[in-house]
Chains A and B, each alone.
Chain A
Amino acid sequence: MFANLKIGQRIISLIVIQAIILLFVGLISIYGLRTGTESTLELDKAVNASARLNYVMEPIRTDFPELVNDLSKGTLGWQDAVTKLDLVESDFEDNWNIFIDSLSAVDLEFAGHVLTPYREDIKQAVTRLRAIIDTQDDAGLQTFVSHEVKPATMMFVSNVQASIAEQDLRSNNILVESQRREKSILIITIVAFIAGIFVSSVLGILIYQSIAAPIGVISETVRKVSGGDISARAGLVGHDELSSLGRTLDELLSDKMATLDQSARENRILNDSIINLLRAVSLLSQRDLTIYLPVTEDVTGPLADAINKLTRDTSAVLTKVTDVAERVGLASEQVDSKANFVKSVAMTQQQDLAKTAQELAQASVELNNIVAAANNCNRIAGQADKSTQTAASTVTDTLRGMNTIRETINEAGKRIKRLGERSQEIGTVVDLIKDVAERTHVLALNSSVQAAAAGEAGRGFAVIAEEVQRLAENAKRATAEISSLVKNIQIETNDTMTTMDRTIGYVVEGSRLAETAGQQMQETQQITGTLVAAVREIAANTEKQAGISSQLQERAQSINRSTQDTTRELDEQLDQTRSLTDFCKQLISSVKIFKLQPA
């Protein structure tokens, strides 16, 4: 607490603190005295106010009623009453003015509220009494005594008494407050005084301890060192004189002890180094290559360094061996995987080759069939050529026959045409007959009319006329039938002519078709020749192809044999690769018995 203060400063601080406490107690006392004085002044004011109020009230409470009573009883004359009334009034006014002058502004205002209105009552009563005295009005005096004196004075007197009571109350309050404050100040003063004594005592004790304690520590340290405890130190901190002394003592002891400590420390370090070496060798015998020996500056340093190098190098070599073995194992696994893949490919290839050989054999058979078919085609083509030639000559004959038919039909047509012309000539004759028949009919009709006009004489003529008319009608009917027959012959002739023309058309078309057929026959004959030549060439090529196909079949079988040999070789390689992987694993597990340093 006081370690940073010098001894002189500590004593000065004690004096200053005591002075502050005294000052505080003194200030409290001064404050108590001042408030006591203020309370006394307040009290004095209240007592003065009470006294002045008594002075104000007294003339009204006793003198004025007494004057009125004496006057009404007759013990006081009118003239004396005036003198006494003047005295009472002046007394009252003087005391009132003194009272009013002593009031503060606030109290003055309050007095104006509660006393002034009733002071006016007093003034009016005095004026009224003065008027009664002046007129020596006995009746008025009696009325005044019985009805006016008391109401006029009662309010004022009772209010003054209330004000006096108020001042008493205020005095009482001031007194109580003053006593309370005095008590508080007394308590504070006592507490401050006791606290001051306490603080001073504590501070004094602390300062004493702050001086005595370091001295005790220093003497105890010296005693311990002389008794053999060479590690004892004062250990004082701070900036005062005793702390400096303690530190100097500690430094002296420390210098002496340093030499002894040095040799002990060196021995300890050498022992530790040897123990470490033994531990390391023990771990090495347990194949732990992770150990690292601290390289000390003593004689064991080079040995530890050599052991560290040995373990480090061995560990590095074994780590590399493990690494290589792992890589070989990995490579073997990859080769194994690749060989499996090649084997599966070879198997697939073998199957494909077998299938190809089979298909080639089938193709060879098919090619031989094609050769036979081509030969057959060749033969049929020859027959077709012959047939075509025969057909060509047949067509030529047909063409000739067609021309003969056409000429015959032309001749028949001409004759039928002539027959139609004759029929038209018959028609002309029939028309002539028809005209004669018409005229005959008209003649017969006229004859009938004339016979009728002649009467009985013309009867025989009438019969002839009827016979002629009947004949004309028969002729007419016959001509109509002949005309109809001729028309039918003409129609039939025309139809025949039309049919003949159409037949001729057909014959002409048939001839043209026969000619076209003949030309096509010739073209067919040429094409057939070309076809026969092509078929012959195909047959020759197919024979050659069949020969090549057989060769292919033989080669496919040869490849198949080679593939089987390859698969066998791959199986052997797989076995060897697996053996290699197993060897790698064995090598890694052998190295693992050593505990290696991390890479």
Chain B
Amino acid sequence: MLRNTIIAIAIMTLPPAVSAARLSDQQITQMLQDKIRVVQHMALNPLLVKAVRRQNAQSLDDATIAQRDREWQSSGDDDPLKRSLQSGDHAAVMRRFVEQDPALSGALLADNRGANVATYRLVDDYWQGDEAEWERAYNEGQVYVSPIQLDEKTGTVSTYVAAPVLDRSKTIGVLLVGVNLGAFR
């Protein structure tokens, strides 16, 4: 119920010309529902759950997170931290999922503080605690779909689906996946 409401709200934010010209509301709703289930499924993957559980056990303090966030934004792609977050089984699982599905543009796994655990293609920030996607999904324990955005250059529409990472029914982190709706055409 809540999920459908969120999807409807997300669709209402879509510019009418785009939805009319390319995909019907019903099509987008169906596709979003499919992708939401995929993201939920990903978030239940034991490798990802284990990775988040492991990072939460480290209990990173605010200063460390802030320091890493600054370094993340100023460094290049070959930064050791960035490279370490793209290695490991859980990162491999995320990568396989994204590569397997052309509608998925990238994925990001964050812990209970909003710090990155693993990333694939979504590498803007290290700290996600101030992002609406992380806040809503983590605090409410529900799937959150961000407002749909139109890329004027490519003419494609996209959104982010954030699903809580559950460990024995308790939210311990958030999995954020970019969904490219224009790819469904």
Name A's B-contacting residues (CB within 8 A): 110, 113-114, 117-118, 151, 154-155, 158-159, 161-163, 165-166, 169, 172
Contacts and interface: CB of A to CB of B under 8 A. Distances in A.
B97 to A, nearest CB: 8
Contact of B45 (A159, A169, A172): A159
Contact of B37 (A110, A151, A158): A110
Given A114-B38, A117-B100, A162 B45 contact: yes
Interface in B68-92: 89, 92
B167 to A, nearest CB: 10
B92 A159 contact: no
Nearest to A173: B169
Interface string B29-48: 00000100110111011110
B54 interface: no
7 contacts: A154-B89, A154-B93, A155-B92, A158-B47, A163-B44, A165-B46, A166-B40
Prevailing SS type, chain A contact patch: helix
Contacts of A113: 34, 38, 101
B41 A163 contact: yes
A169 B44 contact: yes
A155 B100 CA distance: 12
B162 interface: no
Given A154-B47, A154-B92, A165-B46, A159 B169 contact: no
Query: Which of A113, A117, A166 has the most chain B CB atoms closer than 10 A to its own CB?
Result: A113
Query: Which of B34, B38, B44, B166 has the most chain A CB atoms closer than 10 A to its own CB?
Result: B44
A159 B47 CA distance: 9
A161 B42 CA distance: 10
B41 A159 contact: yes
A159 B38 CA distance: 11
B3 interface: no
Contacts of B169: 169, 172
Nearest to B35: A113
A564 to B, nearest CB: 117
A159 B37 CA distance: 13
A169 B166 CA distance: 9
B45 A158 contact: yes
A115 to B, nearest CB: 10
Given A113-B101, A151-B92, A154-B47, A162 B34 contact: no
B38 A161 contact: no
Contacts of A159: 41, 45
Nearest to B40: A166
B120 to A, nearest CB: 14
A163 B40 CA distance: 10
Contacts of A154: 47, 89, 92-93
Contacts of A118: 96
Prevailing SS type, chain B contact patch: helix
Nearest to B101: A113
A169 B93 CA distance: 21
Nearest to A176: B169
Contacts of B93: 154-155, 158
B96 A155 contact: yes
A157 to B, nearest CB: 9
Contacts of B45: 158-159, 161-162
A112 to B, nearest CB: 11
Contacts, number: 46
Nearest to A115: B41
A258 to B, nearest CB: 77
Interface string B113-124: 000000000000
A155 B40 CA distance: 16
A158 B46 contact: yes
A326 B41 CA distance: 118
A110 B96 CA distance: 16
A162 B42 contact: yes
A335 B38 CA distance: 124
Nearest to B93: A158
A64 to B, nearest CB: 18
B37 A165 contact: no
A86 B93 CA distance: 28
A172 to B, nearest CB: 6
A461 to B, nearest CB: 164
Contacts of A172: 169
Nearest to B96: A155
Contact of A161 (B46, B92, B166): B46
Given A155-B96, A158-B45, A165-B44, 10 more contacts: A117-B100, A118-B96, A154-B89, A158-B46, A158-B93, A159-B41, A159-B45, A165-B46, A169-B44, A172-B169
Contacts of A151: 92
Contacts of B40: 166
A271 to B, nearest CB: 87
Contacts of A114: 38, 41
Contacts of B89: 154, 158
B85 to A, nearest CB: 18
Nearest to B166: A169
B66 to A, nearest CB: 33
A113 B96 CA distance: 12
The 4 closest A-B pairs by CB, nearest first: A165-B44, A162-B44, A162-B45, A161-B46
Contacts of B44: 161-163, 165-166, 169
Given A113-B34, A114-B38, A162 B46 contact: yes
Contact of A162 (B41, B92, B96): B41
B145 to A, nearest CB: 18
A159 B46 CA distance: 8
Contacts of B42: 162
A155 B89 CA distance: 9
A440 to B, nearest CB: 156
Contacts of B38: 110, 113-114
A110 B38 CA distance: 8
Nearest to B100: A117
A172 B166 CA distance: 13
Nearest to B47: A158
Interface in B144-185: 166, 169
Contacts of A158: 45-47, 89, 93
Nearest to A150: B89
A154 B47 CA distance: 9
B63 to A, nearest CB: 34
A161 B100 CA distance: 18
B89 to A, nearest CB: 6
Contacts of B92: 151, 154-155
A349 to B, nearest CB: 110
A165 B101 CA distance: 22
A165 B45 CA distance: 8
A238 B84 CA distance: 93
Nearest to A114: B41
